């Protein structure tokens, strides 16, 4: 019987694509959590603006985060079948990451758009993934209720994320209605403003199209936020509680 891969083995692709001397992304510990039916599994969704804007959907399983890149982001409308491309597993620590990847693979701005817990609605997660249909429920800040991931026939990496019809389904565009971070409560420009936007002018020279334009606009917005923050005479927050 084939032994399941350890989390260290499953993170080989993740480690191979990154230079941690320049990337602030978590390296991730090589650990295999023992199954605990009483401890809820975590999920997160990260809004990632790099060469293309997309949303990274991640489910905790066997010591790693199973990951899918969703170009249009999740939808609460059961009529929407959102393409979700399976990508490399990520470390559990990545579920809390938010910040700026300065260069290399995935360079851009990452926002923690949603987080919470998930529960599989099928007897065996591994078997469901192998069969290409994973039914589950989410209990997040923005995403809740019953969902399904279905693998398409053409490409083993290609899945569809679909919301089941329940009390949490809606025609509301959740991407537009709730665009900000659940961690820092700011927008993408606020996250970039924690860095030096001037350094990004040269790094983003090769970014074209809509994503490149969006990044250039973010740089300008971040620079304006920093200028306003450093404006002489601007009241400073007092550390003393009243």
Instruction: Please tell me the distance from the alpha carbon of residue 8 to that of residue 13, in angstroms, as a whole number.
Output: 10
- What backbone phi and psi angles, to 5 degrees, belong to 176? -80, -35
Residue 6: pLDDT band (50, 70, 90) is low
Average pLDDT over residues 35-44: 79
Give me the pLDDT at residue 2, please: 42
> In percent, how much of the chain has pLDDT > 90?
54
Q: pLDDT for 179-201, tens place per residue?
A: 999 999 999 999 988 876 666 65
Give me the pLDDT at residue 42, please: 97
Instruction: Please tell me the distance from the alpha carbon of residue 74 to that of residue 50, in angstroms, as a whole number.
Output: 18
Give me the pLDDT at residue 205, please: 47
- What backbone phi and psi angles, to 5 degrees, belong to 20? -75, -5
Average pLDDT over residues 121-142: 96
Is the pLDDT reported for residue 79 higher than 50? yes
DSSP 92: G
Question: 25-29, 117-121, 155-159 — which one is most confidently predicted on average?
Answer: 117-121
Task: Tell me what the pLDDT averaged over the chain comes to.
Answer: 84
Residue 81: pLDDT band (50, 70, 90) is very high
- What backbone phi and psi angles, to 5 degrees, belong to 160? -125, 130
* In the chain, beta strands by DSSP E: 41-49, 53-61, 64-70, 82-91, 99-101, 108-120, 133-140, 144-151, 158-163
Q: Which residues pair with 65 in a beta bridge?
A: 60, 90
Give me the pLDDT at residue 50, please: 84
Q: Which residues pair with 55 in a beta bridge?
A: 47, 70
Is the pLDDT reported for residue 84 higher than 80? yes
Give me the pLDDT at residue 14, please: 72
Q: Which residues pair with 60 in a beta bridge?
A: 65
Is the pLDDT reported for residue 48 higher than 90? yes
Q: For residue 37, give every residue at least 6 positions away whose Cβ sits within 8 Å of its Cβ, in sequence order, or none.
A: none
Is the pLDDT reported for residue 204 higher than 60? no
Q: What is the pTM of this model?
A: 0.82
Is the pLDDT reported for residue 91 higher than 90? yes
Residue 238: pLDDT band (50, 70, 90) is very low
Average pLDDT over residues 209-229: 82
Q: Which residues pair with 44 in a beta bridge?
A: 58, 115
Q: For residue 63, give every residue at least 6 positions away whose Cβ sits within 8 Å of its Cβ, in sequence order, or none.
A: 6, 7, 10, 31, 32, 33, 92
């Amino acid at each position: 019987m084939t032994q399941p891969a350890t989390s260290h083995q499953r993170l080989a692709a993740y480690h191979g694509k990154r230079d941690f001397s320049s990337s602030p992304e978590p390296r991730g510990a090589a650990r295999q959590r023992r199954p605990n039916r009483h401890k809820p599994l975590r999920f997160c969704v990260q809004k990632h603006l790099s060469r293309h804007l997309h949303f990274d959907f991640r489910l905790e399983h066997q010591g790693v985060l199973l990951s899918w890149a969703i170009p249009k982001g999740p939808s609460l409308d059961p009529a929407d079948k959102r393409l979700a491309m399976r990508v490399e597993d990520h470390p559990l620590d990545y579920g809390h990451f938010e910040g700026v990847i300065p260069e290399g693979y995935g360079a851009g701005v990452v926002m923690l758009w949603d987080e919470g817990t998930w529960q599989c609605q099928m007897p065996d997660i591994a078997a469901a993934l192998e069969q290409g249909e994973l039914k589950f429920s989410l209990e997040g800040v923005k995403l809740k209720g019953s969902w399904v991931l279905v693998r398409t026939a053409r490409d083993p990496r290609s899945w569809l994320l679909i919301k089941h019809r329940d009390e949490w389904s809606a025609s509301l565009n959740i991407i537009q209605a709730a665009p900000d971070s659940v961690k820092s409560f700011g927008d993408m420009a606020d996250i970039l403003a924690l860095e030096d936007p001037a350094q990004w002018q040269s790094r983003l020279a090769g970014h074209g199209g809509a994503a490149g334009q969006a990044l250039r606009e973010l740089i300008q917005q971040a620079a304006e936020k920093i200028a306003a923050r450093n404006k002489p005479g601007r009241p400073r927050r007092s550390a003393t509680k009243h």
